[in-house]
Amino acid sequence: VNARVGTRRCGNEPTMVKFTLSAKRKVKLREKDFESEEYLGKLNAITGRLAGSFPGEPLGREDVARVVMELLQGQEETLGANSPSPRPMVKLSMRHWQDYTPGGSLFMIVRRCVRFKLKKGLRRFDWQSEHKRAEFVGMLGDCAEELREKGLLGHVKVYISGDVPAESRDAAKAAARSMGAVLAASANDHGVTHVLHADLDADGEEAKRVFPDKDQAIVRGVVDKEALVHYAGYPESYDAWCSVSTAREHAARDRVHRWDAPPADDSLIRAASGEHLAIAGRSRPAKHVHYTWIVDSVKHNEWCEEADYAWEDPAETAMRAATRARDAANAAMAATTAAAAQAQGGGPPRVGEKRKGGPDAAADDDDLDVREERGIERVLNSSPLARRDAAALFQLARRVKAAAKEGDGSSSGLLDAAVLRAVAEVDGTPTVRKARAKIRERLGVSLTNREIARAIRRAAAGATAASSE
């Protein structure tokens, strides 16, 4: 279920139910979104089964859509973030409301609630009075119990890692109890679904992890001029539609965004994989998350997205960062050596020129340009390497390119001339292996076999020309 801001669109809308989100990020249902043909089409399979369960009752697609809308509104008002405390149960995950499979979660929820409605002789669901509220929440509780009996709602079992400080550990324990989670004695206990961690600094002190008010949107997809965004630290029910410009302004810098495609409708994939259960199955490995995942879930009385709270072992993070930094340096060096090669007169041409050595040589240079561009793109899109760090590397590459073009006024660039001098110093007949070792020793750079072979040919041609003179 997603949030939506702005006028209603026609045509190729994502086939999802949508919410309107206010400035304070309160969830509101919009009736017209439940009346769209695409949403009604999602209910075809469920409607057919419900007709068999309640013969003679008017339960067409429109009727089922109205029931779903009422139930979602009632759940938000009776169990949402602004509902009165204490709350007797946790909100049913929005993934259950998106399970359109026959006999799935949504079917069971609607079937039980329609049965309750008919039994009570109600025209519509009501939760305005204290008595009606208790009845409504009790009905949702029965839905949750049935989902659990059918294996469509799992139990959350958490282990609090030793890296969580004592004061934060107490808050995590209290939050786990409030959300109805089971506390495990070990991360290896049977059925553990989540392992909770804390971020520690170099001195072993806890580094607080907070979500800023801005720059925390993850773009799930774009349709026309609007983007569907997810706000880090909020449950899925707070996803919102906004303008693409607004999405770009608030897009999180360290997350992957879907700018070039509409939002993925993965309800069937979730159903097939079991992810529509909302909580990881017992046969799946436990998810390692920051302990604030369960603390923030209490605030919303709804399970937050684990991806927003993903935790990685600091050693693995450091290793990954070192690998990406090395790849960035290699990509920058490749760009530098390519610039020097393109600047030399008798060798590979500059951009836009043709090489005199034949068509295959021009194709080789084109392939090199493509590889450089892909390498640069990978580095810029990688994480946790910051864009500003990658930008500094490529700014250095551009400076070397400029120097290579200037050179000493001859056809050879600075780096190209240095490479040729290194090759010339190789003892005996220069081979690719010997030349590579000498270039690394003299210049501290790595070249491809093709670039080294080209340098050997240039050095040999230069030596022949010198001897003839």
Give the model confidence (pLDDT) of 27-85 as tens digits. 767 787 788 888 899 999 999 999 889 988 888 999 999 999 999 999 999 999 989 88
Helix (H, G, I), strand (E, B) or coil at 327: helix
What pLDDT, on the 0 to 100 scale, is given for residue 143? 96
Q: What is the pLDDT of residue 160?
A: 95
Tens of pLDDT, residue by residue over 384-404, are 555 445 555 555 565 555 555
Express each pLDDT in 142-157 by its tens digit: 999 999 999 999 889 9
Average pLDDT for the chain: 77
Beta strands in 250-356 (DSSP E): 287-290
- Residue owning tokens 């390119």: 401
* Contacting residues for 36 by C-beta, under 8 A, at least 6 apart: 13
Q: What value does the mean pLDDT take over residues 278-298?
A: 79
Q: Is the distance from CB of 229 to CB of 218 less than 8 angstroms?
A: yes
Tokens read off for 51: 């007709």
Report CA-CA distances (Å) from 240 to 27, 216, 259, 322: 9, 13, 15, 36
DSSP string, 28-64: EE-HHHHSSHHHHHHTHHHHHHHHHHSTTS---HHHH
Question: Can you give the pLDDT at residue 456?
Answer: 85
| The one-letter amino acid at 128 | Q
Confidence category of residue 173, pLDDT binned at 50, 70, 90:
very high
The pLDDT confidence band at residue 450, using thresholds 50, 70 and 90, is confident
Model pLDDT, residue 401: 56
How far is Cα 455 from Cα 283, in angstroms, rounded to an integer?
57
pLDDT digits (tens, 9 = 90+) for 176-212: 999 999 999 999 999 999 999 998 776 677 777 777 6
pLDDT at 21: 33
User: What pLDDT sits at residue 402?
Assistant: 55
- Number of Cβ within a 10 Å radius of residue 102: 11
Nearest to 170 by CA among 350, 295, 46: 295
pLDDT, one tens digit per residue, over 69-128 is 999 999 999 999 989 888 999 999 988 998 999 889 999 999 999 999 999 998 889 998
Residue 3 pLDDT > 50, yes or no? no
Ranges 143-152, 179-188, 419-428, 457-466: which has the least confidence: 457-466
CA dihedral 334, 337, 342, 346 (to 10 degrees): -140
**Are the beta carbons of 286 and 307 closer than 8 angstroms?**
no
**What torsion, rounded to 10 degrees, do the Cα atoms 155, 137, 176, 159 define?**
10
Give the separation between CA 80 and CA 73, rounded to whole angstroms.
10
Looking at the predicted structure, is the pLDDT value of residue 24 above 90? no
pLDDT of residue 10: 35
At 315-354, the pLDDT tens digits run 776 677 777 777 877 777 777 777 666 655 444 444 444 4
Determine the pLDDT at residue 118.
93
**Confidence (pLDDT) at 9:** 33
Cβ(34)–Cβ(65) below 8 Å? yes
The Cα 337–Cα 454 span in angstroms is 12
Could you tell me which of 89, 86, 75, 53 has the C-alpha nearest to residue 125? 75
Q: Report the pLDDT averaged over residues 274-282.
A: 45
d(CA 443, CA 452): 13
